[in-house]
Each structure stands twice: as structure tokens, then as C-alpha cells.
Amino acid sequence: MRRPRAALWASLLAAMAGVASAETDPADWDAVLGAAEGQTVYWNAWGGDPRTNAYIEWAAGKVASRFGVELELVKQSDISAAISTVLSEKSAGKDEGGSIDLLWINGENFAAMKQQDLLFGPWAEDLPNWSLLGAEDNLALTEDFTVPTEGLEAPWSMAQVVFYHDSARVPEPPKTVRDLLEWTRANEGRFTYPQPPNFLGTTFLKQALLGLVEDTAPLYAPVSEADYETVTAPLWDWLGELTPTLWRSGAAYPQSGPAQRQLMADGEIDIAISFSPAEASAAIAKFELPESVRTYVLDGGTIGNANFLAIPYNATAKEGAMVVANFLMSPEAQARKQDPEVLGALTVLDVAGLGDEDRALFDDLDLGIATLTPEELGSPLAEPHPSWMERIEEDWDRRYGAGQ
């Protein structure tokens, strides 16, 4: 049984404060490179997507050959397990020589670790490639679910919610969450979403809530400052009607985005949610989805955010971790990641501000048959405060998950 998130954060709040200082100044990049050579970086990340894992393996080869840094991917099904490791090490007084050097974290995980000084830094804004981001004009790169990153995280990928549908069976998909309910009533069993606390499943709940409430302002402040029951009532009413119309009548859910995608490939569902605008194109290119699949966004916009990398306060290979993060922000790595045949994830870089040679890496990309243009994607909606994610997950689990 997974450890309740509230219990994990309660443990974090009880942890001793304090952070170890770096031996190498992040602003002295030559010194960072020198110290990084020969280090092994243990990167704890969500390991549920084979394409992402393959991309990380490619990056590992590059940083090894160019900088002498060995990168080891430690696959996690829930990154809170890695946070528990950092917490346990701190409780044991292991303030140096920690087992985790790099973390892929977002939202509530970052907020909790930042609050308890479990992160090394600031360091991210000292990376040489930080200047390529245009971060001063993109708040998503310096705020994580409304929480300022303050140089404790480096963005390495952008994401935005899209839906994809099989146009051969659904030529005109529903464009609002209310219309989605009407569509599922007429097409029972042909839609589902990953089971929370899978991040994509929880994102679906947040996207629905944003589309159902009249005033979204409370969602961008800590949940403790709002009337939770009143704000979320439209979501639970809507889910109460939606759930019986889902795949398997809501008695079971896919456990991840790839598992949901397989249901589409097997012809069991007609509409799916993704946090990668090029996922459908990438899957079509690999013959994992029919060529008739197309992508769309909801009227009024969809949630977008950045994926971040952080370094635990007691990491053994802080310099190596910084080198890895800086490489992942490079035009070479970002363009490869945006290629639908590789991963199809949005870049964190300000492409228009790049030099001609680097910009050409992106201009030459074929984004794929099912990928929306930036204009079609539109401006993303900001993520709600991370505290809402925790409460909604717990409430959903009580109503529809193991706790029902």
C-alpha cells in the first residue's frame, strides 16, 4: 500500500532543518566541470515511459563521453519514494554522501522539500545554458505550481495537456469538460483516464475542476485558505455522473499514460489525455497508434507546466548533477527531445532567441501528423497551488480508489 502523502509531508515537517553547502561554487563553471569528471550521478526519475528512458540513456552517453560523468537512471513509479530516502538519510544525520544526486520533481514534492531545506542550491540560474531559456518572460520556468523555484530547480522540459482522439470514430471530439460528460453518456465505455495519484490522472482532475468552477482564483492559493468543499463540489458532482460511463464503468483504470495509450491502440477507447502535445505523432510514427489519431485542446485552454530537476542537499555528486542538468538544457538535447520520433516534448528554450545554427535544429523538425502548432495549443493555464493536488488525490481515492 502506498504511503499516504499527508503522512510523508508530516514527516518532512518534523525533519530537522539545515542544508549542506556545496564544495564547488556553481558560478565557477570551470571548477564545476573539473570536480564533475569521474563522478557518478544517480538520477531518480519516473521510469514509466520507455521513450523517456531511452532519451535519458542517450543523454547518459553524451555526458559520459564529453564530461566524464556517469549517469545512472534510478526508475521510480512514485517519486515520493525518493523523497522518503532523502528524509531518512537526514533523520539519520547523513548530511553528506547521500544516495540520490538528481531528482525529477514537481509541485507538491518540490514545495515540501523546499520548505524543509532538503534541496541544494541555489544553482540553476548559474548554469551556462540558463541564458538560453528566456526565463524572464516565462513564469513557468521560475515557478513550480505557483511556488518560486529560486534557483533550486532547473527546467528540462515543458508540457501542456492535450487530448487525442481517433478521428475515424470520433470526427468531432468534445471541447469542454461538460461536453465530455455528454459524449461519454452517448458513448459509454469509450473514455477513461489514468488512476490517481498517477500525475496524469490527477492532472485530468485539476483540468476538469478549472473547467467547472466559475472562480478559479482560490485554486492558486494554498487550499487551507479556501472553502475546499464548496470549491470542489462541482468536480465531485461531475465525476459522480461521469464515472459510470467510463471504460469498465469506472471499476478499473489504466495505471499510467502508456497503459492508457495502449487502450487506444487496442481500440478499447476513443479519447485519451496526455501531457505531451506530440505523444500521438510519436506513437503513430512507431506504429503504436492508428494514423487516424489526432490531437486537440479544450476551449478555454489547458494546463501547462515545466518539468524540473533538483539536487538533494546531501547529494554526493552535486557537480556532476549540475553538468547533467546543463546538458539537458542545451539546444542539442532540447531539439532531440522535441523530435516526435524520439520523445516529442516541448522545449524550455527561447528558440527565437537562439543563434542561427541552434535555431535550425528546431526549424528542421517535422513535428508530426497529429501535433498542434504553438498557435493551436494556445497559452497554457497555470497549475493550481500544489496543496490542491494532495487534497484532491486523497478525496478521489476515498471516493473511487482503494478507499471506496
Instruction: Determine the topology of domain 5-157+306-367 in CATH.
Output: D-Maltodextrin-Binding Protein; domain 2 (3.40.190)
Q: Whole-number mean pLDDT of the chain? A: 91
pTM (predicted TM-score): 0.78
Residue 107 or residue 311, greater confidence? 311
Question: Which residues make Cβ contacts (< 8 Å) with residue 162, sequence separation at least 6?
Answer: 273, 274, 275, 276, 277, 279, 295, 296, 297, 302, 372, 377
Question: What DSSP state is assigned to residue 381?
Answer: B
pLDDT of residue 23: 67
CA distances from 2 to 77, 81, 124, 197, 221 (A): 11, 9, 32, 10, 27
- The C-alpha torsion from 232 through 236 and 238 to 240, rounded to 10°, is 180
The correct answer on CATH 2.30.40.10 for the domain covering 162-304+383-400 is: no
Q: What is the pLDDT of residues 139-176, one digit of tens each?
A: 889 988 888 999 999 999 999 999 999 999 999 999 99
What gap in Å lies between CA 192 and CA 260, rounded to an integer? 8
Q: Tally helices (H) and strands (E) across the chain.
A: 15, 10
The sheet carrying 162-166 orders its strands as: 271-274, 162-166, 293-296
Domains 5-157+306-367 and 162-304+383-400 share a fold: yes
Cell numbers of 103, please?
Answer: 531528482
Q: What is the pLDDT of residues 21-55, one digit of tens each?
A: 446 899 999 999 999 999 999 999 988 888 899 99
pLDDT band at 68 (very low <50, low <70, confident <90, very high): very high
User: 3-class DSSP state for residue 401?
Assistant: coil
Domains of the chain, residue spans: 5-157+306-367, 162-304+383-400
pLDDT of residue 376: 92
pLDDT at 296 over 60: yes
58 phi-psi bin (left φ>0, alpha ψ -120 to 50, beta other): alpha
